[in-house]
Amino acid sequence: MPLVLASGSPQRRAILARLGVPFTVRAPNVPELGSGDPGEVAGVNAERKARAARRPGAREVVIGCDTVVALGGVVYGKPTDERSARATLTALGGATHEVLSGVAVLLPDGQQRTAIARTAVTFRALDGALLDWYLAAGEWRGRAGGYAIQGAGAALVRAVEGDYENVVGLPLATLLDLYPELLSGR
């Protein structure tokens, strides 16, 4: 059964590609929720992406995913500029935040399987020099919470509790729980 990843994220593509499963990318352009209950935001956005990428009548499986960072019920999305990235990272510094990914799997028979993955990430205390160093790298661009744990952002992290791949952008454990058939062709 053809598999479609409803995402333009290179991290999601790389995680899925490591499984050796053939798929195509169909990155939808849909309005996303940016505030509200963090789990609901991630879940609704994942479903919107999957539905927007689905082609009517096509015999394919569509996977949508959306990842948000939350601290104290506040959703920290992708910073719009370096100033907002600094504010986001400052808020996360020295604290444990949650990375939530909504995953939506749409099957050709109309069935929809959804779940929310949660991972706790504890940041080191971030002083001005560390923030300046990270912001200068520019890695914060296009990243929920303003960091990429798989890159230089690893220097900001003290601990991860849960699925590391969720923090990167595609929670494999959750995806395989929802759609174990993903690996049936191997």
How are beta strands 61-71 and 3-6 bridged, if at all? parallel
- Report the chain's C-alpha Rg in angstroms: 17
Q: H or E element: which one contains 18?
A: helix 10-18
For position 34, what pLDDT does the model report?
83
For position 66, what pLDDT does the model report?
95
Query: Residue 101 is which amino acid?
Result: S
Q: Which residues, including other chains, have CB under 8 Å from residue 97's CB and lie 6 or more apart?
A: 69, 70, 71, 76, 120, 121, 123, 145
Residue 149 has pLDDT above 80, yes or no: yes
- Percent of the chain past pLDDT 70, that is, above it, reads 99
Q: What is the mean pLDDT of the chain?
A: 94
Average pLDDT over residues 166-180: 95
Q: For 162, which DSSP code? A: S
The dihedrals phi and psi of 26, each to the nearest 5 degrees, come to: -135, 90
- Reported as a single tens digit per residue, the pLDDT across 53-86 is 999 889 999 999 999 999 999 999 899 999 999 9
For position 186, what pLDDT does the model report?
39
Q: For 97, which DSSP code? A: E
For position 25, what pLDDT does the model report?
97
- Reported as a single tens digit per residue, the pLDDT across 4-33 is 999 989 999 999 999 999 999 999 989 888
Confirm if 142 and 121 have CB atoms less than 8 A apart.
no
Confirm if 42 and 67 have CB atoms less than 8 A apart.
yes
Average pLDDT over residues 91-112: 96
For position 23, what pLDDT does the model report?
96
CA distance 56 to 96: 42
Confidence of residue 37 (pLDDT cuts 50, 70, 90): very high
For position 1, what pLDDT does the model report?
86
CA distance 99 to 90: 16
Catalytic residue ranges: 66
Query: Residue 115 is which amino acid?
Result: A
CA distance 45 to 66: 6
Residue 49 has pLDDT above 60, yes or no: yes
Domains in the chain, start-ordered, CATH in brackets? 3-183 (3.90.950.10)
Residue 185 has pLDDT above 90, yes or no: no
Average pLDDT over residues 129-146: 94
